[in-house]
Amino acid sequence: MASRDVLVSMSRARRRLLGDRGAAVGALVVASLIAVALFGPLLSGKNPLQSDVEHGLSELGAPLPPSADAPLGTDQLGRDEWARVVAGAATSLSIAGLGTLLGLIIGLSIGLVAGYAGGAIDNALMRLTDLVLAFPFVLLAILLAALFREADMASSTAPVALTLGIVGWTSMARVIRGKAAVLVRSDMITAARSLGASPFRIVTRYLLPNVAGVVIAVTAVGLAQNLLSEAALSYLGLGPPPPVPSWGRMLYEGRAYYRTAPHLVWVPGVAIVVTVIGFNLIGEGLREALDVRDGKDIEGR
């Protein structure tokens, strides 16, 4: 019966989502971005890491503006800006995706356990969530980056994804906890307990399917937030190390040329803004279609 209700609810949500123009635009933007990240290198045919001082810079050593040979111009080292923004898309999306996945695993686990157990366990897990929220994001990221550097991980993209996952699970945990706390008091869970269902079966068979819509909506919004966070960390020098292309790093490197070569700023800047808007449109569409509320609203119903 619970599975049938979930299927009916998901069918209604799908119809509402298909009628949402904002979500459709967001899906088109995200799909186009993924296509560019996957197939863009084949179209550009240029190495985003290779400098071309002889042909990629002006006689005065300045970056070249957009042209037929370089549609988005070149950077301060003569590298093709289109090739770099495409490679940056793959870098930023992969880091944001891995960070979101890690945050999803942590937040979903804590939220389900807290919502199902209640009492002292719920209180302890929510205080842990409050403790993580109490730390400013940038300061916590700097601390984690220093710890990863001591562990000889600074030469990879793993520290950024781990940082995003470690600090980004709190919203998921709060929302899932609120939804699970309501479901635990429902007749469905009461009946399952009376039939001798184990806590593991209740969580996986009844709670998890009923919070799936919430998870999808919060994950989409979390991806947008992690893309912004990854760009901010890269801008501060805490992202992937050079010469790995990253939109935030490109924005930082182009800041010194915003007068003479403004394309070095607006190309990665527009890429970040458009991508974040796309994921936010999808997330908001999913919120409306799935009737997702925040943790306080759900808990207070």
Is 154's pLDDT higher than 90? no
CA–centroid distance for 266 within its chain: 22
Sign for the CA dihedral angle at 266, 272, 275, 280 comes to negative
- pLDDT given at position 109: 92
Is 125's pLDDT higher than 90? yes
The domains found in the chain, sorted by start residue, are: 2-44+68-299 (1.10.3720.10)
Cβ pair 150, 85 in contact under 8 A: no
- pLDDT given at position 103: 92
Mean pLDDT for all residues in the chain: 81
- Give the mean model confidence (pLDDT) for residues 270-299: 72
- pLDDT given at position 189: 85
Q: How confident is the model at residue 195 (pLDDT cuts 50, 70, 90)?
A: confident
- pLDDT given at position 1: 41
Is 216's pLDDT higher than 90? no
Each residue's pLDDT tens digit, 168-191: 898 889 999 988 888 888 888 888
pTM assigned to the model = 0.82
